[in-house]
Amino acid sequence: MSVVNDINEWVTVRVNALNSLGKLKDEKAVPILLEALKSNVDTIRNSAVIAFGQLKDNRAVPQLIQMVENEKENDTIRVNAISSLTSIGDNRALGTILNALKSKNINIRQSAITASGDLAIKEATGILVSIVRNKNEQLSLRAYAAEALGKIGDKSAGPILSELLADENESNAVWIKLAEAAGKLHTASISELVSERAQNSLEPVAVRAAAFMALSGTAKSEDFDIVLKMLDDGTTEIRSAAALALGNSGNKSAIQPLITKLQKDGEEVVRRDSAKALGILADSSAEQALIKSFQEDATASVKNESAIALGNIKGKSGISALINVLQDTTKANDHRWNSAIALGNAKSIEAISALEKTLQSNNGNIHFESAEALRKITGKNYGYER
């Protein structure tokens, strides 16, 4: 690893080494990465910034904050520093991100908007609402702001989203994000236009999918029925979107139809999103079906989404199945590290012994996710600083 900060080595070689350290997610690389943040070579600093986002280690937070706030810093580095601060999730960065929402640099603002949503910074709601409402703002910024409002979850934004959804002249790019956000906020009162667009087969699939999400949040039986009907649509993307919306609805009546799709739909994406929806609903009645798909589905995406769903349900049988796969070195690596993620989400005490063993794995993702799962379960750091 000494090659990283060797000024006599080719920059390309040093950058490649930094990129590898980030992908390996090895906590022993932190001191070297901290030194690389001080480099006078932009590409070296940028690679170190990205690596810290992958490691999620908070020892770089002060330097990353300085980079974001330094207007003389390379714009790409500043944008990536915001992304890494978001990944790390340290509260020390919140003020910096809020200030970046006012930046004159469009890329910095966009990154700060995304970060505000990912970190659910409630204090950003007012600024984001003003961006969404301002028709003179760039469409991309308005769309990102709407998406962020949905992630933050402040229901005070609901009436504004509903108002804008009624505008037939709104661009599809923004309207889609408004509808998705309204659904996530479970906005009860939305325009009739949403229902019309959901059922209009001539509308773009992305528009209809967003409309499903908005309808799923109203808690009205007629809106739920519209979305449920779409689960049997002939178009793969429509079925997939309907599954996700049903998960968002919180309505337990969706569980059996989603199980049926998980078990019988011929398209991987529909089975995957049915598993995801069942994970959001997190009802024990879906556990056995999810164990089966976790163990037997032919596709990685369905297995991995089933793992996360089992972690959300936290049933004994599901936990046991997750531990078994985590320990089985013949299983695919992504299958194993997603099992670790799920066990961490479940805060499964039963998994501690198995996770401590997989912490020794040579696979960076298995090692990293085992450490993160153990932190969630025990409250202790396992090499990384959080």
Place of tokens 């779409």: 230
Concatenated DSSP letters for 7-37? TTS-HHHHHHHHHHHHHHT-GGGHHHHHHHT
| Residue 360 clears pLDDT 70, i.e. is over it | yes
Supply the CATH classification number for the domain 1-119: 1.25.10.10
For the segment 61-89, what is each residue's pLDDT rounded down to a tens digit?
999 999 999 999 999 999 999 999 999 99
Higher pLDDT residue, 347 or 22? 347
Mean pLDDT for the stretch of residues 167-195: 96
For the segment 111-125, what is each residue's pLDDT rounded down to a tens digit?
999 999 999 999 999
Positive or negative: CA dihedral 144, 148, 154, 155 = positive
For the segment 274-298, what is each residue's pLDDT rounded down to a tens digit?
999 999 999 999 999 999 999 999 9
3-state helix, strand, coil in the chain (%, to 5): 75, 0, 25
Mean pLDDT for the stretch of residues 130-146: 96
What per-residue string of b and e applies to 23-36 under the rule 16 or more CB within 10 Å gives b? ebbbbebbebbeeb
Mean pLDDT for the stretch of residues 27-51: 92
Q: How confident is the model at residue 313 (pLDDT cuts 50, 70, 90)?
A: very high
Positive or negative: CA dihedral 200, 206, 211, 213 = positive
Residues 271 and 249: their CA atoms lie apart, in Å, by 18
For the chain, state the CA radius of gyration. 22
pLDDT of residue 384: 64
Place of tokens 């908007």: 113
For the segment 301-310, what is each residue's pLDDT rounded down to a tens digit?
999 999 999 9
Residues 26 and 146: their CA atoms lie apart, in Å, by 36
Instruction: Judge contact between 339 and 322, C-beta under 8 A.
Output: yes
DSSP tag of 379 = S
Fold of 314-386: Leucine-rich Repeat Variant (1.25.10)
pLDDT of residue 2: 65
Same fold, 1-119 and 314-386: yes
| Residue 326 clears pLDDT 80, i.e. is over it | yes
For the segment 140-161, what is each residue's pLDDT rounded down to a tens digit?
999 999 999 999 999 999 999 9
Residues 224 and 186: their CA atoms lie apart, in Å, by 12
| Cα dihedral 217→221→227→229 (10° resolution) | 170
Closest Cα partner for 295 from 317, 274, 316, 314? 317
Concatenated DSSP letters for 85-120? HHHHT-GGGHHHHHHHTT-SSHHHHHHHHHHHHHTT
pLDDT of residue 15: 79
Domain boundaries, the chain: 1-119, 314-386
For the segment 231-248, what is each residue's pLDDT rounded down to a tens digit?
999 999 999 999 999 999
Q: How confident is the model at residue 381 (pLDDT cuts 50, 70, 90)?
A: confident
The identity of residue 233, as a single letter, is: D
pLDDT of residue 380: 86
In degrees, rounded to 5, the angle at the alpha carbon of residue 97 between the alpha carbons of residues 92 and 101 is 160
pLDDT of residue 181: 98
Could you tell me the two tokens for 219? 């808690």
Mean pLDDT for the stretch of residues 126-143: 96
| Residue 11 clears pLDDT 90, i.e. is over it | no
C-alpha dist (Å) from residue 161 to 35, 132, 346 = 45, 9, 34
Q: How confident is the model at residue 25 (pLDDT cuts 50, 70, 90)?
A: confident
Query: pTM of whole model > 0.85?
Result: yes
Mean pLDDT for the stretch of residues 197-208: 97
